[in-house]
């Protein structure tokens, strides 16, 4: 550790910016981003539950906030994050438990399926909320 | 350094250099297993209850089974969230003081919000019976 400057020109490992984007990579990053989004968004669900204990006025205030346009956008993002993290989380458990699904073809296919599942499930949940 | 009698290899074996990684790994996955069952119930059951206005939402959590399942969902979710955020903080925050401060904040946030929500559910359940 005499010098911080490297003297020989060894190749550096590829950094995230020079990787070609592919499905498994996007799925992995999306899993982490959706997890952080759910962490932050949990405050909204928590506020709704606490407001029920506080009484009708508090509930209507929080519920009205969620039903506002910015509230709906946040809730839509939360639904997408939840359904995606759910589907991709099951894939992680299959990776860690039975230990299958690692081959590039299957892993890519499952990644694309998870994105499609999240889209379909989000549309499904919102359709149910609107039309039931 | 002179009092360190264990070899570096001995420190790494067993529970690993951090001494707690395996436990974190297992807890993250066990809480995920619980959430696979609990979250779909919470979303479906809660969605219909919340849409019906205050009385409907209150009536939902006044039912013992709903209250118990809701508290289990909140417990598993906030536990899973704390573990997940710990990994994110440890991955991206290199400065020890900032890292520790954020880890403590995350622990306070998740346990605090869990207590607030679980006690709210308990309050609704007990008030109704």
Domains and CATH numbers, chain A: 21-131 (1.20.1300.10)
Q: Are B124 and B61 in contact (CB under 8 A)?
A: yes
Tens-place pLDDT, residues B12-51: 666 666 666 778 899 999 999 999 999 999 999 999 999 8
Q: Which residues of B touch A (CB under 8 A)?
A: 29, 32-33, 35-36, 39, 43, 47-48, 50-51, 54, 57-58, 61, 70, 74, 77-78, 81, 84-85, 88, 113, 116-117, 119-121, 123-124
CATH of the domain at B47: 1.20.1300.10
What residues contact residue B19 under an 8 Å CB cut-off, 6+ apart?
Answer: none
For B58, the closest chain A residue by CA position comes to: A52
- Rounded CA separation B41/B44 (Å): 5
Q: How confident is the model at residue A7 (pLDDT cuts 50, 70, 90)?
A: low
Can you say how many angstroms the Cα of residue B46 is from the centroid of all Cα atoms in its chain?
A: 19
Please indicate whether, in this complex, the C-beta atoms of B117 and A90 are within 8 angstroms of each other: no
The answer to whether residue B7 is domain-embedded is no
Q: Which two tokens stand for residue A131?
A: 């039309």
Q: How confident is the model at residue B5 (pLDDT cuts 50, 70, 90)?
A: confident
Q: Are B67 and B124 in contact (CB under 8 A)?
A: yes
Q: B73: part of which helix (H) or strand (E)?
A: helix B64-92
The answer to whether residue B56 is domain-embedded is yes
Please indicate whether, in this complex, the C-beta atoms of A125 and B43 are within 8 angstroms of each other: yes
Radius of gyration over alpha carbons of chain B, in Å? 20
Please indicate whether, in this complex, the C-beta atoms of A82 and B43 are within 8 angstroms of each other: yes
Q: How many domains does chain B have?
A: 1
- Rounded CA separation B126/B129 (Å): 5
Q: B123: part of which helix (H) or strand (E)?
A: helix B96-128
Chain A residues inside the 8 Å CB shell of B59: none
- Residue appearing with tokens 């880890």: B103
Chain B residues inside the 8 Å CB shell of A48: 50
- Rounded CA separation B129/B108 (Å): 31
The answer to whether residue B1 is domain-embedded is no
> What is the 8-class DSSP label of residue A72?
H
The answer to whether residue B98 is domain-embedded is yes
Please indicate whether, in this complex, the C-beta atoms of A89 and B57 are within 8 angstroms of each other: no
The answer to whether residue B9 is domain-embedded is no
Residue B27 sits in which domain range?
Answer: 22-128
The more confident residue out of B72 and A10 is: B72
| Share in percent of chain B as helix, strand, coil (round to 5) | 85, 0, 15
* Nearest residue to B42 (alpha-carbon basis) of A45, A129, A88: A45
pLDDT of residue A63: 95
Q: Mind telling me how many Å the CA of B7 is from chain A's nearest CA?
A: 22
Please indicate whether, in this complex, the C-beta atoms of A89 and B48 are within 8 angstroms of each other: no
pLDDT of residue B33: 96
Please indicate whether, in this complex, the C-beta atoms of A42 and B32 are within 8 angstroms of each other: no
């Amino acid at each position: 550790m005499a010098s911080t400057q490297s003297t020989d020109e060894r190749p550096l490992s590829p950094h995230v910016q020079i990787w070609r984007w592919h499905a498994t990579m996007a799925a992995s990053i999306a899993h982490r981003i959706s997890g952080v989004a759910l962490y932050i968004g949990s405050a909204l669900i928590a506020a709704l539950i606490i407001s029920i204990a506080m009484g009708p006025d508090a509930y209507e205030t929080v519920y009205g906030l969620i039903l506002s346009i910015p509230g709906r956008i946040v809730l839509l993002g939360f639904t997408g994050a939840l359904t995606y993290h759910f589907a991709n989380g099951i894939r992680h458990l299959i990776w860690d438990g039975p230990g299958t699904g690692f081959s590039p073809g299957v892993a890519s296919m499952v990644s694309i399926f998870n994105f499609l599942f999240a889209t379909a499930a989000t549309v499904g949940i919102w359709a149910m909320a609107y039309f039931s | 350094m002179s009092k360190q009698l264990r070899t570096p290899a001995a420190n790494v074996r067993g529970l690993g250099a951090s001494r707690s990684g395996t436990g974190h790994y297992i807890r993250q996955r066990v809480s995920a297993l619980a959430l696979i069952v609990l979250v779909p119930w919470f979303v479906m059951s809660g969605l219909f209850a919340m849409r019906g206005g205050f009385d409907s939402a209150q009536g939902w959590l006044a039912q013992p089974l709903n209250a118990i399942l809701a508290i289990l969902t909140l417990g598993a979710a906030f536990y899973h969230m704390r573990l997940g955020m710990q990994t994110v903080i440890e991955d991206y925050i290199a400065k020890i003081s900032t890292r520790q401060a954020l880890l403590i904040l995350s622990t306070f946030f998740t346990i605090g919000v869990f207590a607030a929500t679980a006690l709210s559910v308990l309050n609704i359940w007990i008030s109704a019976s």
